[in-house]
Amino acid sequence: MVRRPSRIVLVAALGLALIAPVQSRAEEQSTSAPPYLLVRSLQAIQDKVIAGDLESLEIQRYLLNEIDRRLRTVDMAVFEDPRNVDAALIFAMSGGNPETLDILAERDVEGNFDNRVTSILRRYLSGRGATALRQLKEVVPEYRNTRIGPYLELIGANALMESETDAALKFFDWARVEAPGSIVEEAALRRSLAITSQKGDAARALPYARRYARRFMNSPYASQFADIFVALAIDHKEAMPPPEIMAVLSLIERKRQREIYLRLGRRAAINGDKPLAEFAALQARRLSRSEDKGQLALAKLYDGLVNVPTDGVEKVLRKLADIPDASLSPKDRFLRDAARIVGQEVLKPPSAESLRQVRRDMVDKEYRDMMSERVAKAAENAARLGASLPDPITRPEDLPLETRKAALDERLDRIDDFVSLGRSKLKDIDALLSTESH
C-alpha cells in the first residue's frame, strides 16, 4: 500500500514521456504535410476508434482541429492537386467544421471544387439536406468508386432515410461495399439495420445485424445497435424467435451478449412478454459467473417482473425482496418496487363490495336470460329464477361457490387492468429516466 503512490507517479511520468514525442511529431507534420496526408491520418484514427480503440478519440479531436486550422490558412494553390480537394471534402463529411467548407468554396476561383458537390454538402451540413435530394440522386452515382464516393453515398443515404428508404438502403449498401472495415461501413450497417427494423422487414434486417455483430461490436456506437436489435426482437417476435436471437448474439463475446440479453429481458418484462423475458433472463444467467452478482440480480428481477400476475406471486415477491438495492440501478429499483406493489395488490382478498357487485351482475344476467325465453317457458324460467337467487349477502363465505368464483374472476380482471396500467406507467417513467440519464 505504501508503494502505490510512487508507482502511479512512475506510470504517469512514463505516459507523458511517450505522448510528448508523438504529439511533437504530429504538430511538426501538420505544419508541413499536404491536407490529403493529414486527412489520411484522420481516416486511420477514426477506423481505430470504431475498432474499439477509445484512446484514439483524443487524437481524433486534435486532428480535426488541426486540419481545420490548416485548411483555413492554406494557399489555395494546393487544391490544384485533386487529392487535396478530396481531402477537404472528406474532412467536411467526417465531422469537420462545416464553415471551413464554406470558406474554401468561396475562395475557389480556379474551379478546383465541383460546385455541385460543395452545394450538396453545404446544404446537408446546414440541416437543409431535404432541399438537395434531386441533386444527390444525380451526382452521387457519378462519384462511385472514387475517393469521396463512400462518403457521398453515406451522406445521400442519410438525407433519403426519412422519405425514400429503399433508395437510402441502396446508397448505404454501396457505401459499405466501397469502404470495408471503415467508419463508413460501420455507420452504413447500423443505419441500414435501423431502417429495416423500423419497417418491420426482419428478413433484410437480420443480415445487417449479423454483419454488425461480427465486425463492429467494439465500436463506441455499438450500444445503438443493441437498442435497435432489442426493439426488433420485441416488436417482431414471429420473425425473431429465440433461436434466431441466439444465432445473432452468438457472434458476440460473452459480456456483450449478456448485456444485450439483459436489455431484452428488461424491455420484455416491462411489456409483459413473459416467454421472452424468461428466455432473456435464462440466457443472461447462463452467460454470468458466480461473481457477476449485479448481472444475476438483474436477471432475477426481470424474470420476477413477468411472473407477478401468476399463481406463484408469493414466491416471486420473496425473490424480489431478496435482490439487494446495491445490485440495481435507480431505474431497476423502481421497477422492482413497482412489481412488489402489483404483487401485493394481487394477494389482497376480495372485498364484500366486489362480491355484492358480482351478485348484482349475476341477477341482471339471469333476468335477461329469463326475458329472452319468456314467451316459450315463462313459468319454468320464473321457477328456476326464484330457486337460483341467493339470499341477501351478509358474509362473503356464505355465498354460493359460483358467486365467489365470479367475484374472483372480476377481481382478476381488475388486477389485469391494474397491471396493464402499471406497465404503461412503467414504460413512460422508464423512458423519462432513460432520457435523464443521457
At 6 the pLDDT is: 43
Q: Which residue has the higher pLDDT, 363 or 145?
A: 145
State the DSSP H helix or E strand holding residue 199, giving kind and residue range, or none if neither. helix 183-199
Average pLDDT over residues 183-196: 97
pLDDT above 60: residue 399 = no
At 388 the pLDDT is: 44
Average pLDDT over residues 419-433: 55
At 83 the pLDDT is: 97
Distance from C-alpha of 288 to C-alpha of 81, rounded to nearest angstrom: 56
Characterize 351-375 residue by residue with b for buried, 16 or more Cβ atoms within 10 angstroms of its Cβ, and e for exposed. Answer: eeebbeebbeebeeeeeeebeeeee
pLDDT above 60: residue 333 = yes
Find the angle CA(348)-CA(351)-CA(352) to the nearest 5 degrees.
160
> Residue 183 has which C-alpha cell?
467508419
User: Which residues fall within 8 angstroms of residue 359, CB to CB, at 6 or more apart?
Assistant: 390, 393, 399, 403
Q: Which runs of consecutive H residues, i.e. helices, occur in 250-292?
A: 254-271, 274-286
At 304 the pLDDT is: 64
pLDDT above 60: residue 425 = no
Could you give the percent of the chain with pLDDT greater than 90?
Answer: 49
pLDDT above 90: residue 176 = yes
SS3 211: helix
90 CB neighbour count, 10 Å cutoff: 22
At 238 the pLDDT is: 87
At 267 the pLDDT is: 86
At 307 the pLDDT is: 59
pLDDT in tens, 209-250: 999 999 999 999 999 999 999 999 999 988 899 999 999 999
At 361 the pLDDT is: 53
At 294 the pLDDT is: 72
Domain residue ranges in the chain? 180-245, 352-371+390-437
Computed over every residue of the chain, the mean pLDDT equals 77
At 111 the pLDDT is: 94
DSSP class of residue 351? P
Quote the distance between the C-alpha of residue 402 and its chain's center. Answer: 48
> Residue 386 has which C-alpha cell?
326464484
Beta strands in 37-135 (DSSP E): none
Band of the pLDDT at 18, cuts 50, 70, 90? very low
At 129 the pLDDT is: 87
pLDDT above 80: residue 316 = no
**Nearest by Cα to 397 from 339, 338, 352, 342:** 352
**Nearest by Cα to 339 from 293, 286, 285, 300:** 300
At 266 the pLDDT is: 83
Angle between helix 330-347 and helix 401-437 axes, rounded to 10 deg: 170
pLDDT above 80: residue 372 = no
At 396 the pLDDT is: 47
Kindly report which listed range (151-160, 284-293, 314-323) carries the lowest average pLDDT score.
Answer: 314-323
Handedness of CA 229, 234, 236, 242 (dihedral sign): positive
The radius of gyration of the chain from alpha carbons, rounded to an integer in Å, stands at: 32
At 17 the pLDDT is: 44
Average pLDDT over residues 183-201: 95
pLDDT in tens, 54-110: 899 999 999 999 999 999 999 999 999 999 999 999 999 999 999 999 999 999 999
Band of the pLDDT at 144, cuts 50, 70, 90? very high
Identity of the highest mean pLDDT range in 11-20, 142-151, 330-339: 142-151
Band of the pLDDT at 16, cuts 50, 70, 90? very low
- For 302-328, the DSSP string reads HHHHHTTTSTTHHHHHHHHHTS-GGGS
At 311 the pLDDT is: 46
Distance from C-alpha of 311 to C-alpha of 187, rounded to nearest angstrom: 47
pLDDT above 80: residue 417 = no
